[in-house]
């Protein structure tokens, strides 16, 4: 039996939005977040220094409203190899891994799975947050 790996904190939330500029202005100017990274025109990552709020553009489908609900929650771990340990542990416990562990363009490493109600959960090692985990 594989022991459950440690999880640090719930320090990451990702939101889908139709007006990325408006959402960025709100969280920066009204809520006081700082811009951590803008990898492309459809994504912005914000922080208060000890957390991460991701905003992802979600265009409305033809004739419908865009899904702007929660994209996923992120559970931060201290080391990149803990993401892989979580993958093994989840598989052993019958959880289907939706996105296998991978390293992102910013050096983060993560995997995705769904909880029993269908919410997307990410296990992530995010280097800027690692000292706080």
**Domain architecture of the chain: domains with CATH:** 9-59+67-132 (3.10.180.10)
CA angle 72, 12, 57 (to 5 degrees): 55
The residue among 128 and 30 whose pLDDT is bigger is 128
pLDDT, residue 131, reads 81
Q: How confident is the model at residue 24 (pLDDT cuts 50, 70, 90)?
A: very high
Share of the chain above pLDDT 70, in %: 92
Query: b/e string for 93-122 if b means 16 or more Cβ within 10 A?
Result: eebebeeebeeeeeebbbbbbeeeeeebbb
- pLDDT tens for 44-59 read 999 988 788 899 987 6
Q: How far apart are CA 54 and CA 72, in angstroms?
A: 10
Phi and psi torsions of 70, nearest 5°: -50, 130
């Amino acid at each position: 039996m594989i022991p459950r790996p440690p999880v640090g904190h719930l320090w990451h939330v990702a939101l889908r939005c139709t007006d990325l500029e408006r959402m960025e202005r709100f969280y920066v100017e009204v809520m006081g977040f700082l811009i951590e990274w803008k990898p492309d025109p459809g994504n912005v990552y914000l922080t208060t220094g000890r957390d991460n709020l991701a905003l992802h553009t979600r265009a409305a489908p033809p004739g419908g409203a865009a899904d702007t609900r929660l994209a996923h929650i992120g559970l931060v771990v201290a080391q990149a190899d803990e993401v892989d340990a979580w993958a093994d542990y989840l598989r052993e416990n019958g959880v289907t891994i939706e996105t296998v562990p991978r390293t992102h363009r910013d050096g983060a490493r993560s995997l995705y799975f769904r909880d029993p109600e269908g919410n997307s959960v990410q296990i992530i090692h995010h280097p800027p947050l690692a000292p706080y985990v």
